[in-house]
């Protein structure tokens, strides 16, 4: 028999929470790759709004952030014709499958999750069951769409590992239901650190507004923040563990321009930090300006935005329902 050759793309899934303004760190660390990935893979991208409520949210603010996050996904160049772009809470199979998986997940597994410990410390007055068990919902998010790969950073690696463990256990008990996803390490990306404390990762939760750059910041704000970025007294543009501040700026400039750190060092040899910080700020501003313009266009037409995500919701639901009913049938439910 002749071998069947298929050009079917491998599947990739990635989700992002609508938990506030997305930063340059989110963009360079993950989002910048999403547009390119949809050319190589069959991509599914979701606004993971159900995960946002493990901590208290203001309803009106949460609603606005869901719209905003979806509009940013479109502004990044994610194409609804090439990829599936949807809102998690609009596909009921996520919470339904989460219950099936919860009944096949051990208490001890959840209690060892490092993010539960971290968030419990930060939100001591609201250590809820959802905060404890949300990795199971995350496993459902992944497994419903049978992806081959899931892009992960260091802080999400444990969640993919638990999703794989749950899927393997379920398959061993009930038969072949879930594909076991592999971690995907992007070809390009960066761990972007705080502009004010380069020992810490850039985070929108940082109280110092100069520590992070938002994807939607205007050019003047971006350049001002980079001019105020913490460096050191050596006044030499060089990658070095002894110079975390300037090394962070070199990383940012390198990822945006496509130049190697060595090329960046050569470009700014003999020039001061002032020139370099201005150049980084301008490069970042030029990179983000088209995204901001597209975002303004999408967020300004709510009806069109809703039309796009409703279509994406239906595409996602068709795939999710197939997986969910297969799992239900294997467990023994009457369908």
pLDDT in tens, 156-190: 777 899 999 999 999 999 999 999 999 987 665 57
How far does Cα 258 stand from its chain's mean position? 22
Which of 11, 32, 201, 292 is an active site residue?
A: 201
- Local structure of residue 104 (DSSP, 8 states): T
Range 131-160 average pLDDT = 88
pTM for this model (two decimals): 0.89
pLDDT of residue 112: 80
Which of 9, 35, 82, 204 is an active site residue?
A: 204
CATH code for the structural domain at 209-296? 1.10.240.10
- Local structure of residue 144 (DSSP, 8 states): T
Question: Is 201 known to be catalytic?
Answer: yes
pLDDT of residue 241: 84
Decide if 88 contacts 50 (C-beta within 8 A): yes
Give which of 19, 56, 51, 46 is closest to 132, Cα–Cα: 51
User: How far are the Cα atoms of 11, 34, 188, 205 from residue 37, in angstroms, in the given order?
Assistant: 10, 5, 11, 28
> Packing angle between helix 302-331 and helix 59-75, nearest 10 degrees?
100
Q: Where residue 1 falls among pLDDT bands split at 50, 70, 90?
A: very low
Which of 119, 225, 277, 292 is an active site residue?
A: 119
CATH code for the structural domain at 11-190+302-331? 3.40.50.620
**Residue range(s) in the chain whose domain bears CATH number 1.10.240.10:** 209-296
- Residue 149, pLDDT above cutoff 70: yes
Q: Which residues pair with 15 in a beta bridge?
A: 46
pLDDT of residue 284: 97
Across the chain, mean pLDDT equals: 90
- Residue 312, pLDDT above cutoff 70: yes
Q: What would the pLDDT profile of 255-266 be if each residue is shown by its tens digit? A: 999 999 999 999
- Residue 2, pLDDT above cutoff 60: no
- Around Cβ 192, how many Cβ atoms within 10 Å? 24
Give whichever of 90-94, 128-132, 158-162, 249-253 has the largest mean pLDDT.
Answer: 90-94
- Residue 3, pLDDT above cutoff 50: no
Question: Is 204 known to be catalytic?
Answer: yes
CA 78, CA 50: separation in Å to the nearest integer?
22
**Residue range(s) in the chain whose domain bears CATH number 3.40.50.620:** 11-190+302-331
Beta strands across the sheet bearing 149-151: 84-87, 42-47, 11-16, 149-151, 182-184
Give which of 269, 193, 261 is closest to 231, Cα–Cα: 193
User: How far are the Cα atoms of 89, 142, 306 from residue 309, in angstroms, in the given order?
Assistant: 12, 19, 5
Q: What would the pLDDT profile of 191-220 be if each residue is shown by its tens digit? A: 899 999 998 989 887 889 999 999 999 999
Q: Where residue 4 falls among pLDDT bands split at 50, 70, 90?
A: very low
């Amino acid at each position: 028999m002749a071998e069947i050759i298929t050009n079917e793309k491998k599947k990739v899934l990635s989700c992002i929470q609508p938990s506030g303004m997305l930063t340059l760190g989110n963009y360079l660390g993950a989002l910048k790759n999403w547009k390119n990935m949809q050319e190589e893979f069959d991509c599914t991208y979701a606004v993971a709004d159900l995960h946002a409520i493990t901590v208290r949210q203001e309803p009106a603010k949460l609603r606005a952030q869901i719209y905003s996050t979806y509009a940013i996904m479109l502004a990044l160049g994610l194409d609804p014709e090439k990829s599936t772009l949807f809102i998690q809470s609009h596909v009921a199979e996520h919470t339904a499958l989460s219950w099936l998986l919860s009944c096949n997940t051990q208490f001890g597994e959840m209690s060892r999750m490092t993010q539960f410990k971290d968030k419990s410390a930060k939100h001591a007055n609201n250590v809820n069951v959802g905060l404890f068990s949300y990795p199971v919902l995350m496993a459902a998010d992944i497994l419903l769409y049978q992806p081959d790969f899931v892009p992960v950073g260091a802080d999400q690696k444990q969640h993919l590992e638990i999703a794989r463990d749950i899927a393997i256990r379920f398959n061993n008990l009930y038969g072949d239901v879930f594909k076991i996803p592999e971690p995907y390490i992007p070809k390009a990306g960066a761990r972007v650190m705080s502009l004010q404390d380069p020992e810490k990762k850039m985070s929108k939760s940082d109280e110092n507004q100069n520590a992070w750059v938002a994807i939607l910041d205007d050019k003047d704000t971006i350049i001002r923040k980079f001019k105020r970025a913490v460096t050191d007294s050596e006044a030499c543009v060089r990658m070095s563990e002894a110079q975390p501040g300037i090394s962070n700026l070199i990383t940012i400039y390198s990822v945006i321009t496509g130049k190697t750190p060595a090329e960046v060092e050569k470009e700014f040899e003999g020039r001061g930090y002032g020139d370099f910080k201005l150049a980084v700020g301008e490069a970042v501003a030029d990179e983000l300006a088209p995204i901001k313009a597209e975002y303004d266009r999408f967020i300004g037409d709510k009806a069109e935005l809703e039309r796009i995500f409703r279509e994406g919701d239906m595409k996602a639901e068709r795939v999710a329902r197939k997986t969910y009913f297969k799992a239900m049938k294997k467990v023994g439910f009457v369908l």
